Structure 1
Amino acid sequence: MDMLKPGTIRWGYKLVDYTERRIDCDDANTDNLNMNLTFHCRRHEGAEVECDDNLITASASLLVGCDGIRSSVRAKKLGEDAAPLRYLGCIVILGIGRSPDSQLTNGETVFQTADGVTRLYAMPFSQPGGDESSEHGLSMWQLSFPMEECDAKNLSALGPTALRSEALKRCGQWHDPIPALLLQTQDDLITGYPCYDRALVEKRAFRDGCNSSAVDSFVTMLGDAVHPMSPFKGQGANQALLDAVLLSRKLYKSVCVNKKTPNENFLSDSILNALADFEEEMLQRAAVKVEKSASAAKFLHSEVAISKGNVTRGAAAADDVARKEQL
């Protein structure tokens, strides 16, 4: 972020609404800013924007929603009914705690333990020597297990103390260093939530949005705003980063092409084509990750997770499906 100009990133803003408008590119006064944005801000920064009851308005030529699984950009563009949240049948509890004295939490080891229902995964988070770490550093742990959606919501709402109690009830008698790791995690470093994803939207519907008769849209999205997935394949953040790189390259190429034909109409069309190409490639790439992550949410909390064999749990699940189909 140090490479960016001051003011490029502004903290404490939440998008409330946006309105796209068609710009007459023959107008010599146009600045190609074709949408109005309204933000709620926690504090007022700069006098160049209008403020009213902590609302700030601004203009933009392009809007990229990367605001997570409950994206306000997505809700505005696609509507609430387009691929609603899909509960995956389990809750995830996360924590970061002082690493106990154990080979499994030595700062170099990743491990997971399961009993066919409940699963705990742990990995190094920081090495020894940090101000907040013990002599063995910090470990991140992820505990997951099946639960009815209403119960998962209630447990999440109860907060860290209840989440830790549930974790200890399930894993307090498991092998070392699991009990100590759970006990050595501070409350403010524990969180938990029901696990959701969404079905992917078809590319044309994604491009047009919920109002296909509107002007060509200069609004797109990436990451969890488009393709939220379970954490059990470790692909959520990876896919978001790939999305960002892909979008940047598509937009850069569209601007470079426009330099050869300096025309506002051509630039707008070039950007729209870049967005369409980006969205098509993103949706195609992410589809398999969403599907496999949803599948992992099931088999990692089943007998497949503890079946014998020198294979990945995904391969074990595939073998289990094939075996059942032959019966």
Structure 2
Amino acid sequence: MQMATATRVVDGPGILTAQRGPRWRTGLLLAAPAIAACALLFVAPLFTLVFNSFRTQQGDLTLANYVRFLGDPFYRDVLWHTLWIGVLTTAGCLVLGYPFALYLRGRSPRVRNYLSLILLSPLLISMVIRAYGWLVVLGPNGPVAGLLGLFGIAPPNLLYTDTAVVIGMVHVMFAYMVLPLIGSLDRIDPTLVPAAKGLGANAWTCFWRITLPLSAPGMLAGSLIVFSLTVSSFVTPAILGGPTVKLMPYFVYTEATNTLDWSYAAAIGFILIVVTTLLVAVYSRLLRGRGAKGTFA
């Protein structure tokens, strides 16, 4: 049996150092607990989900669950609607979060601490409580309706609509967009913009050619997190959307708990995972390509 042995070699002017066997073994041993936890908590449930999606309730292997979903226009519309809500939420978080992150970048440490506390404080509150808070705010007797009534404007019906769901999801996901943006903006060399202005570039050109492309990693990370969490969210859409806004997680829940059709619920969940992964990969490739070119035009 061949064993790793330690040897002494001369390193520099007479200094003896010990060289041991392959270092990858040490790294593998250190990473083994994390690998085992990932395999147990993520990989194994995912394989179980995929396996169950190809089974009938009697345990026979079949493609009927996927044929049923893809062949029904109603379920296809639900899939597109779920992705559309994810896109709107991601766009809303990006439009509102980028100026906030840009403003936060130039503030003093004390101001940044206070604003960061305000940004992260909603995460300390239950998602259910936040959703019910928006239920009151957007309700027919809430502050929004009262404010519009002061100007003689009839308040629109916001509850149980896509608008209510997007507003609630933007509030829930806002911090997940801002934090990666702040990290990306902080890594930009602060001397680049003054140097560009010294060469005759205006503020818009500096932003479009320097700040925006260099902050692409933060935009990418934030968008991927927000989109992935939004399309798989259940609580906020269920409370603010009610019975009228049907999304994919809602049908996974109803098929698994109401009709007890676990195989079809697994198929719906796996289809959502595959479609989301493909869209995330395409978006990541497009944004990285534009960022590498140094422009988003």
Per the normalisation by structure 1, the TM-score is 0.25
More strand by share: 1
Greater RCO (CA < 8 Å, at least 6 residues apart): 2
Per the normalisation by structure 2, the TM-score is 0.27
More helix by share: 2
Q: Rg larger in 1 or in 2?
A: 2
